[in-house]
Structures are given as C-alpha cells and as structure tokens.
C-alpha cells in the first residue's frame, strides 16, 4: 500500500482540498458534529494544539461519493477515509460562500445525522475577540463573516496539517482501512457498500442504475441520490416479508439490516432481485413524476427533501403502475405537508420514521388504509433563522411550495410562472418584498432575509422593482399597466401579502419615508416585524388547509 505524506499550512490545506477534489465516500456516515465541536476545533487550532492527521484514498475507480464543494465528481478523486468531521468543518468555515450555495448546504443538511434543530449553518460562524482571546461564535442574527485572513494569521505559517494519501487497489481494501482506523465497521453503510456487496453474476444493481440514468438524461429523476434507490429496495424487501433477510426487528434502513439483505441478494442464484430492483427504480421515477404533476416542481431542489422519495416510492412500488385514487391522493397530500413541516426524514428523524411510514405507504397502496400522520401545529418560532436562501432547506422549501400553491399572479392578472422566476444571476432584491437595500442602508438587520419576506415575480419584472419600496414600485407599475381593482386585490391575495390595495400598503409604509434617525429606525423595524407576523398568520392558515389535504 504505497502512501504519500504531505504537510500543509492552512491556506495550502484549503487549496489542496479544492485542487484534489476531496469527496466523502458513501460508505462513510454523515456529518455528526455540533456547534460545540466546531468551536472546540477552532480553539485547539488557535492554541496550536495538534488535531491529528487526515487519511485519503487516491483512486480512479467508479466509487459513489459526494464532493464537499458541490462540484461534479471527477474520475480521479481523493476520498476521505479518516477526518471527515474535521475536514468539512475547516473547509466550510474557511469557505463560507461555498457552503451557502444551495447545492452544497442542502446536500450537507440532508446527509447530516444531527437532529433537525442541531444542524449547522456554517455561514453563521464568525471570530470574536473576547478579552484578548479569539473565540469562534455562532449567531443566527450575526451579519459577520468568518475572517479567513485573521484565522490564517492566528495559526501562522508554521502550523501544519498532516495528510496521508494511500493508493489502494480496490474498494474492499479501502473499507478495511476505514474499519481499522475507526474501529467501528458496523457504522459503514449506504450505496457503495451495498452495490458492491450485492454484486454477483446474477445481480448488478450499479449497472442497472447507470443504464437507467443514461436512458433518462433529461429527466429530473436522473439526479436522485443513489441511496434513495437502495433504501427503497431494502424497505420493499422487508415489507414483502422475505424470511431469508433474517430481519426480525422493526423495518428500517440501519446498517445491520442492509448487510443482511445484501448477503441474501448475493447468494441468490436467479435474477429475481435484479428484476425487483428495476421495479424499485421505476417506482422512484413514478414518485418524482407524481410530485411534478401535483406540485409543479422543476428540479429536485424544489422538493423539501430528497429523502421523502424513499417513502413515497414505496407507495408507487405497490401500486404497480396504477394511478392513485382520489382518496389516496388526498392522503398523499396530507403526508407531503405534514411530514415536511415535521422534518420527519431529516437527520436523526430519518431512521426513526422511515420504517413505520413505509409500512403505512404499503397499506395505503394495497388496502387504501389511511396514513397515520400527525398534524403539525406551526408557530412563528419554528421558522426562526429560516432565510430566503439559507437555513433549514426543508422548511424553507415548504414555505416556497405553499406560496406556489396559491398560484400567484401580478397586478395585471398574469400568472407568475415558476420557470420564469429562476434567474441565474439574481440580485438580492429579486426575491424580497421589502427590499434588501434596507439592510444595506442599516435600517433593517438580517431580518430582511426572513423567509416571510419572500416574494415571487417574473424575472423581467424584478429589475423594474429594484431597490424601491413596494408601494413606490407598485404605484409606478399601476400607472403603466392600469390594472383593474380586482386584479390588484388578487395579486396581494395570491402572494399571501397582508394588504388589499396599494393605498393600504402606502399607509403601512409611511414610517419608511420619514427622515432618518435612531427613533425612526426603531419604528421601521417594529413595522417590519408587524408585517412578518401578519404574513405568518396568512401562511399558517394556508399550511393548516394544506395539511388537511385541501388544495386551493
């Protein structure tokens, strides 16, 4: 096992991660650290304490892995065998802008094994000088960015990070190294292990998936994480009551269960599991098609979480190509909203709920039995820290989805089309009702990014809005368009905005037009908080209706 050993200072280490395309192999567990762990790591580093080495596997083999910077997985990559928690923490601290990208942050949250309220937003860390001692702080309302230059100076050029790069012949050798390092082989699971462990001359799930994805290049479902297919397959095996799996405990996707199923699949001397896996793949695709038709999603990022597909695909597996009945659709609508608001399939909740909910989906598909899904009472505090472009992706996406269910229109009566709101180069103003410029001017703080300030407009309409207050911009557009009174009312109603006319909005905004001063800024902040609370009330009523399975 030839190895190379590198020593890098902080700046070199971060560049090394980007250049060598670090990725986390899927046989690794998800991120488990909490804020306190990250703070402790920072403290150890600024005190020049050693934090251990990092072990990587340099390979060109076709191994499923997730890059940590959101880039496409290259042929030659450096897979992390030891040090995932430390590497991700350091990288995301130093590269907060990379972490804040939806593709990076949302994927990180989805694979994190922390509880929902313990998931970390790395863009909220910053360095504070506390009585002469640098400390790492984490604040929801902080507007500070992590000062990489300061961090680099604190460590100096002499502090180095040891990196061990091993060239291993095959994936099984990598697993062995990983197990020996971590002394916890039972923690290894997910797709790379499962796809390899189930391989035989009669069974090749990886080949089936590659072929299916190649034949569905333009489909949204092409980007589904492989673990969704693996978990859906394992659930259907258990639900079918296969005694050979030796799964006597509750239904689930824990590592010990996956290993038992993989063992039986590998020993099977027919292609029945290949056939079953093909049906599971089609069921997952059908689940996506259902969400496209029901909720008009345009990409997988529109779904509150990909992990929902694991449960939903079980339903379509047992429907065997038949369309859901009206009663079943009603149950699925309730499930969609209730499970999303409850964060049932995020972090630690995934393993807890996946089995019982999969069983419920089978019963719904086979017997029409209603799902036992608890109703979620929502409070404004549930959405603390949820911003337009950051925060927990599930709750952020479910609010967006709730607004789309209202079929928003503009003041001329034209429908706001989802695909027309997606612009590649967005300005901060584009998705804000009250403009981001109020933050630039110091009048409002980070609360300007609150999810309840969300506003949908056509991409072409956004530039005319710019930095103007809503009433100024709407009054100008009213003169140009000359809309009917009813169309203006429908605009506010469809966007769930707590106003009935532009006149009412103007009165609400009068405090924004007064001369600057500390007293007036306090009044503006208070008025803005009133707006957020009123908007939440409208959204709350909408979410209650949606949780009951009622469309608009």
User: Using one digit for the tens of pLDDT, what is the confidence trace for 224-266?
Assistant: 888 899 999 999 999 997 444 444 447 888 878 888 898 888 8
- Return the structure tokens found at 18: 């980007």
Structure tokens at 372: 């036992």
My answer on whether 228 and 262 are in the same domain is yes
Residues 203 and 349 in one domain: yes
Integer Cα distance of 452 and 32 in angstroms: 30
- What is the pLDDT, as a whole number, of residue 268? 87
What integer pLDDT is reported at residue 182 of this predicted model?
Answer: 59
Q: Residue 22 burial (CB < 10 Å; 0-12/13-18/19+)?
A: buried
Integer CA distances (angstroms), 319 to 62, 293, 316, 364, in order? 34, 17, 5, 9
Name the residue with tokens 């530039």: 463
Within 423-487, strands assigned E span none
Residue 262 dihedral angles phi and psi, to the nearest 5°:
-60, -40
Terminal C-alpha separation, the chain: 62
Q: Give 3-state DSSP helix, strand, coil % of the chain, rounded to 5.
A: 55, 10, 35
> Looking at the structure, do residues 521 and 399 belong to the same domain, yes or no?
yes
Instruction: Assess whether 263 and 361 both reside in one domain.
Output: yes
* 552 falls within a domain: no
234 lies in some domain = yes
Same domain for 154 and 214, yes or no, is no
Does residue 478 sit in the same domain as residue 355?
no
Measured in degrees and rounded to the nearest 5, phi and psi for residue 385 equal: 85, 0
Q: Give residue 522's pLDDT.
A: 85
- Name the residue among 209, 259, 218 with its Cα closest to residue 237: 259
Domain final residue pick, 306, 334, 367: 367
> What CA dihedral angle connects 249, 253, 257 and 263, to 10 degrees?
150
Contact 397, 304 (CB under 8 A): yes
Task: Give CA angle at 336 (332, 340), nearest 5°.
Answer: 160
**Residue 490 belongs to some domain of the structure:** yes
Per-residue pLDDT of the chain (552 residues; tens, 9 = 90+): 578 899 999 999 999 998 888 998 876 767 889 999 999 999 999 999 999 999 898 888 877 788 898 888 888 889 888 899 999 999 999 999 999 887 888 878 877 767 666 788 898 899 988 777 899 999 855 567 889 999 999 998 899 999 998 887 666 676 667 666 654 433 444 555 676 677 677 787 877 887 888 788 777 877 788 889 999 999 999 999 744 444 444 788 887 888 889 888 888 888 899 999 999 999 999 999 999 999 988 888 889 988 999 999 999 999 998 999 999 999 999 999 999 999 999 887 888 899 999 999 999 999 999 998 999 999 999 888 888 877 667 899 999 999 999 999 999 999 998 877 765 546 767 889 999 998 888 888 889 999 999 999 987 787 788 889 999 999 999 999 999 999 999 999 999 999 999 999 999 998 887 666 666 888 889 999 999 999 999 999 999 999 998 876
pLDDT score, position 60: 86
- Three-state DSSP at 63 gives coil
Mention every residue, 6+ apart, whose C-beta is less than 8 A from residue 50.
none
Cα Rg, the chain, nearest whole Å: 26
Same domain, 159 and 262: no
CA neighbor of 302 nearest in space, from 146, 518, 136, 102? 102
Residue 373 falls inside a structural domain: no
* DSSP notation for 526-539: HHHHHHHHHHHHHH
Q: How far apart are CA 483 and CA 36, in angstroms?
A: 55
CB proximity list for 154: less than 8 A, separation 6 or greater: 45, 46, 134
Angle at 99 between CA 94 and CA 103, to 5 degrees: 155
> C-alpha angle with apex 507: 406 to 484, nearest 5 degrees?
50
Strand partners, 259: none
Q: Select from 148, 162, 153 the least CA-distant residue to 95.
A: 148
Identify the three-state secondary structure at position 162. Answer: strand
Judgement on whether residues 167 and 243 belong to the same structural domain of the protein = no
Cα angle 66, 71, 73; round to 5: 55
pLDDT for the residue 125: 92
467 and 359 in one domain?
no
As beta bridge partners, residue 392 has none
What pLDDT, on a 0 to 100 scale, did the predictor assign at position 456?
92
Question: Tokens 């300030």 map to which residue?
Answer: 453
Contact 340, 305 (CB under 8 A): yes
Which residues are 59's β-sheet partners?
Answer: 77
- Look at residue 189 in the predicted model and tell me its pLDDT: 45
Query: Is 403 within 8 Å of 495 (Cβ atoms)?
Result: yes
Contact 212, 116 (CB under 8 A): no
Decide if 452 is inside a domain. Answer: yes
| The domain boundary residue, chosen from 113, 147, 182 | 182
Backbone angles phi, psi at 455, to 5 degrees: -150, 130
Q: Pick from 182, 207, 242: which residue ends a domain?
A: 182
Within this chain, do residues 161 and 215 fall inside the same structural domain, yes or no?
A: no
Q: Are residues 406 and 486 in the same domain?
A: yes
pLDDT of residue 434: 94
Q: Is residue 376 part of a domain?
A: no
Confirm whether 100 is domain-assigned.
yes
**Number of folded domains that form the chain:** 3
In degrees rounded to 5, what are phi and psi of residue 182? -90, -15
The CA distance from 28 to 10, in Å, is 25
Q: Give the structural domain span for 21.
A: 3-182
pLDDT at residue 266 in the model: 83
pTM passes above 0.75: no
What pLDDT score does 341 carry?
94
- Same domain? 421 vs 334: no
Domain for residue 138, yes or no? yes
* Helices and strands, counts by H and E, the chain: 23, 8
């Amino acid at each position: 096992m030839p190895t190379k050993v590198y020593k890098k200072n902080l700046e070199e280490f971060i560049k090394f991660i980007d250049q060598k395309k670090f990725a986390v192999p899927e046989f690794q567990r998800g991120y488990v650290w909490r804020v306190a762990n990250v703070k402790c790591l920072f403290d150890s580093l600024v005190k020049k304490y050693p934090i251990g080495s990092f072990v990587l596997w340099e390979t060109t083999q076709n191994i499923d892995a997730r890059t940590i910077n959101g880039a496409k997985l290259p042929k030659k990559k450096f897979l992390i065998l030891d040090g995932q928690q430390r590497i991700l923490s350091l990288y995301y601290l130093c590269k907060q802008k990379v972490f804040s990208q939806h593709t990076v942050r949302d994927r990180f949250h989805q694979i994190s094994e922390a509880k929902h309220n313990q998931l970390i937003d790395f863009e909220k860390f910053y360095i504070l000088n506390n009585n002469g001692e640098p400390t790492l702080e984490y604040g929801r309302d902080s507007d500070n960015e992590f000062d990489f230059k300061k961090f680099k100076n604190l460590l100096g050029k002499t502090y180095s990070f040891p990196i061990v790069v091993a060239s291993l012949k095959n994936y099984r050798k990598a697993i062995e190294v990983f197990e020996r390092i971590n002394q916890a082989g039972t923690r290894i699971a997910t797709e790379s292990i499962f796809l390899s462990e189930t391989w035989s001359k009669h069974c090749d799930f990886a080949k089936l998936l590659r072929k299916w994805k190649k034949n569905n290049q333009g489909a949204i479902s092409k980007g589904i994480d492989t673990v969704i297919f693996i978990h859906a397959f394992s659930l259907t095996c258990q639900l079918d009551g296969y005694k050979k799996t030796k799964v006597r405990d509750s239904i689930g996707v824990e590592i010990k269960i996956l290993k038992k199923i993989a063992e039986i699949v590998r020993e099977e001397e027919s292609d029945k599991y290949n056939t079953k896996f093909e049906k599971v793949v089609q069921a997952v695709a059908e689940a996506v098609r259902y969400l496209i038709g029901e909720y008009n999603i345009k990409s997988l990022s529109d779904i509150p979480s990909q992990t929902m597909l694991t449960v939903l695909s079980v339903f379509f597996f047992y429907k065997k190509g038949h369309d859901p009945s009206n009663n079943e659709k009603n149950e699925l609508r309730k499930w969609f909203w209730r499970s999303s608001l409850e964060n049932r399939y995020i972090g630690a909740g995934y393993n807890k709920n996946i089995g019982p909910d999969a069983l419920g989906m089978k019963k719904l598909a086979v017997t029409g039995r209603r799902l036992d899904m608890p109703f979620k009472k929502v409070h404004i505090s549930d959405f603390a820290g949820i911003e337009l472009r950051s925060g927990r992706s599930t709750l952020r996406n479910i609010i967006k989805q709730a607004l789309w269910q209202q079929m928003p229109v503009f003041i001329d009566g034209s429908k706001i089309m989802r695909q027309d709101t997606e612009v590649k180069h967005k300005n901060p103003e584009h998705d804000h009702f009250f403009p981001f410029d109020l933050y630039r001017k110091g009048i409002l703080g980070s609360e300007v990014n609150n999810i309840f300030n969300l506003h949908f407009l056509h991409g072409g309409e956004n530039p005319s809005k710019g930095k103007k207050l809503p009433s100024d911009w709407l009054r100008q557009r009213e003169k140009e368009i000359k809309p009917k009174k009813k169309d203006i009312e429908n605009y506010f109603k469809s966007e769930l905005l707590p106003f009935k006319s532009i006149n009412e909005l103007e009165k609400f905004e009068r405090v924004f037009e007064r001369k600057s001063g500390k007293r007036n800024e306090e009044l503006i902040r208070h008025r803005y908080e009133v707006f957020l609370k009123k908007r939440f009330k409208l959204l709350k009523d909408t979410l209650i209706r949606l949780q009951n399975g009622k469309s608009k």
